[in-house]
Amino acid sequence: MAASDVGKRSISNRQRLVWIGQTFVLLALTWLALNGLDGWWLGLLAASIGSVAGGLLASGQPHPWRPHRLLGFAGFFLVESFKGGVDVAWRALRLDLPINPEFHRYRIDLPEGQPRTLMISVISLLPGTLSADLSDDGEELVVHTLMPGAMASVERLDARIRRLFSLDSPEANNE
């Protein structure tokens, strides 16, 4: 086995541990919100089992996120979903119904696992875009848009997700 393989594996194990830690914190906070401090030890136990099981059983490579960038992503998401709701409400209420539906293909460069899943889920909540289909190899996304120019927000989302998960910047993309 080459030395670089060993190095890669230890990085991936460290990532897995970080991911388990982050999931543990989220699960423990969810318990705290649902149940307060009653039975906190049971909550800690459940959060530990849940995060370790997730870390070991989840398919693909776990991608830890940057906690300080999650806030920025949440802000981006709030603003965009607000714009998306206002935009579609305005279009639904206008008498001339200004919609111009189209399908676009978008090549996903994000790695499999959370980054890709997050991308496909959030696209439907951005202004004017809806993730309509995924090719069988999972590499190409079909996006339904309500008006011309809506695809620009998909590219901004791509960049946001890369920042959240500290991934490399995108290469050639898109059609």
Rounded to 10 degrees, the C-alpha dihedral 17/23/29/35 comes to -110
Both tokens of 160, joined, read: 């946001």
151 binds other proteins (CB under 8 A): no
User: What track of x and - describes contact with other proteins for positions 98 through 127 (by CB under 8 A)?
Assistant: -x-x-x----------------xxx-xx-x
| Secondary structure of residue 138 in the 3-state scheme | coil
**Which part of the chain contacts other proteins (CB under 8 A), choosing from 2-10, 50-58, 92-100, 163-171?**
92-100
C-alpha 95/C-alpha 118 separation (Å) is 35
Closest distance between other proteins and the C-beta of residue 148, in Å? 14
Do 154 and 126 contact (CB within 8 A), yes or no?
yes
How many whole angstroms from its chain centre is CA 2?
33
Closest distance between other proteins and the C-beta of residue 123, in Å? 8
C-alpha 113/C-alpha 118 separation (Å) is 9
81 binds other proteins (CB under 8 A): yes
92 binds other proteins (CB under 8 A): yes
89 binds other proteins (CB under 8 A): yes
Interface residue list for other proteins (CB under 8 A): 29-30, 32-34, 36, 81-82, 84-89, 91-93, 97, 99, 101, 103, 120-122, 124-125, 127-128, 130-134, 142, 144, 146
